[in-house]
Structure 1
Amino acid sequence: MKILTLLLPLAIGLTSCSIALGQIAVISPPEAKALMQSVDPAQRPVVLDSRGGYKDYFRVHLPTAHHINFDTLRGTDRGIPVQYLPDDLTKLLLVRAGVDKDRTHLIYATGEVLPNDEILSASMVAYVLEKFGVKSIRILDGGLAEWQTRNLPTTQEYFGNPLGSLPADMNTAISIDLDELLRTKDRPDVVLVDARPHNEYIGEDDIWVRKGHIPGAISFHWARLMEDDNTHKFRSFASVQDQLKAAGLTGDKQIIVYCGTSREGSLLRFYLAHVAKFPNVRLYEGSWKEYASLKQYPAETTANSAAICTP
């Protein structure tokens, strides 16, 4: 009995480590807590608070959380706002945040009620890490709100990660640029999907320089994949599978996702690729803010027939 008692913490630590490597997925708060308390410090995750509001981080955050404001990864390029930074600058920012090829990365945000959409900051940071070759990423299911609901520990203490080390190879196959999108979007095996709210998809908004969507795109608002009472909490694939299928979003298709600036698209892509496990899902990073600025390309405001799955 004494030997069993001594070995139990080690067994718990090994169990925590066993879910830590080589996977991109959603993780529950209790699983995340266990991972953060792994016996081997090297197996504990790099915890990244992706919120845009630094004062929110100051008020409360997860223990050992390093603040990486999602919008530091983007900036204006050739007049187009919120474009992803050049790779060399992004690498510097990720290394400074402690992103490491040999570690698991736990990403979270808060603001669980629409119109707050901070979950999109978590999925956007996860996308950037995946694109830069990181293979072990978790998004905290339910975000900070669910963590606090379960009375799990929080802090106001700052935490600075040591410098990280990125993988040698990037995973650029998960992205697509405008030229390739225009060449492939009308193929019968390709589905182009707009992740924005339906009113923006049909051009009933005051946001964009041009109204509507990329011709041929269907509409599937990202929020349909999240729980009503907490937009940081993912619905099960079984509960949304019929809606996805009705929209033409199935695992046998090549799916190209976009939105306004790529954050909403990053959430939809994360779900399709890592919850639904669809094998071929790519994000058009430029999204509507780039496409709409290029007035030589047409736009449409009429919903396509598959765009029936709207909020």
Structure 2
Amino acid sequence: MQSLRFTICSLFLMLAFAMFGSTARADIDIISPAEAQKLIESTDPAKRPIVLDTRGGYKDYFRGHLPTAHHLNFDTLRGTDKGVPVQYLPDDLTKALLVRAGIDKNRMHLIYATGEKLPNDEILSASMVAYVLEKFGVENIRIVDGGLPGWKAAKLPVTQEYFGNPTGTLPEKGKPEIALNVDDVLTRKPTAVLVDARPHNEYLGDDEIWLRKGHIPGAISFHWARLMATDNTHEFKPFEKTKNELAAAGLTTDKEILVYCGTSREGSLLRFYLKHVAKYPNVRLYEGSWKEYASLKQHPAETKENKAK
């Protein structure tokens, strides 16, 4: 009887692997340039990923990009709405742009950009596009760790040949719950950790950028760049090297974390790291971020420093 049970169990496991083994790695994470190259050059077309160059400068794409990279300028996904700049487009427009870019519910998506030194922050275009894909239900996403600088440092091939993906197919169901609007933030923040991912000077209101100065009352400051390598802002620090710093800021796995920044790009990077590198279970992004909140003058702002509770 025990032998029969073992045989049945083994057959069940083999069947489950045959059915689901090919999709077991359908998740959201980072990937090394070397691993990315292997996938791009796979002899099996079904295993080749959709490669997205998300840089805002199309001439950067012309100068050189990863093989089979389709240029998806991150800023085509945003526009002015009711006078507030760089708001996410309506869902129907976003879906049309993603389908045109070849986003495919059955494929892996490799995302990258370049510009490894601050103040260049093109890594944020990669995390923003990853966030948009996730919100629209895509579950198989990798950001190339190190971006194009890491790719070139590994002496991997770069091309100037254009590449266009065939028309894509989006998942039927998205994940709108990862996004927050201003009312969500105000409702949730008394029991959650609200974190501002902008540079510290902007958090304190020492800038020439924003309509109003400071931050959302109660927010703590954690600049996204603290999570990235100092010599390449496209290379993620391992969680083992950041967990004490995150914990000291009050960013721990047991809390609901609400992230925002200036226009949501910096926040998308912090959210990507917490959710998909550090594997925090409950992290959401306020899409409107400070550029929207600053225009809503019925809501207060503050410039004092808040510390972790």
**TM over 0.5, shorter chain:** yes
Are the counterparts in 2 of residues 20 and 35 from structure 1 also a CA contact under 8 Å? no
Aligned with residue 239 of structure 1, among 214, 238, 241? 241
- How many residue pairs align between the two structures? 289
- Specify the alignment match of 1:130 in structure 2: 134
Kindly provide the amino acid, as one letter, of the partner of residue 196 in structure 2. Answer: D
- Specify the alignment match of 1:83 in structure 2: 87
Alignment of 1:260-299 (within 5 A): 260-299=262-301
Are the counterparts in 2 of residues 53 and 69 from structure 1 also a CA contact under 8 Å? yes
**Alignment partners' CA distance in 1, 2:272 and 2:188:** 21
Kindly provide the amino acid, as one letter, of the partner of residue 245 in structure 1. Answer: A
Return closer, same or farther for 1:18/1:223 CA change in 2, 3 Å cut-off.
Answer: farther
Aligned with residue 148 of structure 1, among 152, 165, 180? 152
Kindly provide the amino acid, as one letter, of the partner of residue 209 in structure 1. Answer: L
**Alignment partners' CA distance in 2, 1:247 and 1:139:** 25
Alignment of 1:60-209 (within 5 A): 60-187=64-191, 190-209=192-211
**Alignment partners' CA distance in 1, 2:160 and 2:142:** 22
Return closer, same or farther for 1:54/1:208 CA change in 2, 3 Å cut-off.
Answer: same
Are the counterparts in 2 of residues 255 and 282 from structure 1 also a CA contact under 8 Å? yes
Are the counterparts in 2 of residues 133 and 167 from structure 1 also a CA contact under 8 Å? yes
> How big is the shift at 1:38?
1.9
- 1:197-246: per-residue Cα shift (whole Å, max 9, x none)? 00000000000000000000000000000000000000000000000000
Kindly provide the amino acid, as one letter, of the partner of residue 162 in structure 2. Answer: Y
**Alignment partners' CA distance in 2, 1:39 and 1:29:** 18
Are the counterparts in 2 of residues 21 and 104 from structure 1 also a CA contact under 8 Å? no
Alignment pair present for 1:223 and 2:225: yes
TM-score, normalising length from structure 1? 0.91
**Alignment partners' CA distance in 1, 2:184 and 2:128:** 21
Are the counterparts in 2 of residues 203 and 301 from structure 1 also a CA contact under 8 Å? yes
Kindly provide the amino acid, as one letter, of the partner of residue 197 in structure 1. Answer: P
**Alignment partners' CA distance in 1, 2:171 and 2:193:** 31
* Coordinate RMSD, CA, aligned: 1.2
- Specify the alignment match of 1:47 in structure 2: 51
Are the counterparts in 2 of residues 70 and 125 from structure 1 also a CA contact under 8 Å? yes
Runs of 4+ in 1 over 2 A off after TM superposition: 17-21
**Alignment partners' CA distance in 1, 2:63 and 2:156:** 16
- Specify the alignment match of 2:215 in structure 1: 213
> How big is the shift at 1:39?
2.4
Are the counterparts in 2 of residues 46 and 106 from structure 1 also a CA contact under 8 Å? yes
**Alignment partners' CA distance in 2, 1:203 and 1:31:** 42
**Alignment partners' CA distance in 2, 1:249 and 1:269:** 11
Q: Which runs of 5+ in 2 are unaligned?
A: 1-20
Q: Which runs of 5+ in 1 are unaligned?
A: 1-16
- 1:100-121: per-residue Cα shift (whole Å, max 9, x none)? 0000000000000000000000
Are the counterparts in 2 of residues 192 and 216 from structure 1 also a CA contact under 8 Å? yes
> How big is the shift at 1:21?
3.8
> Identity of counterpart residues, as a percentage?
72
Structure 2 residue matching 1:112: 3-state secondary structure? coil
Return closer, same or farther for 1:89/1:44 CA change in 2, 3 Å cut-off.
Answer: same
**Alignment partners' CA distance in 1, 2:184 and 2:44:** 45
Kindly provide the amino acid, as one letter, of the partner of residue 83 in structure 1. Answer: Q
Structure 1 residue matching 2:107: 3-state secondary structure? coil
TM-score, normalising length from structure 2? 0.92
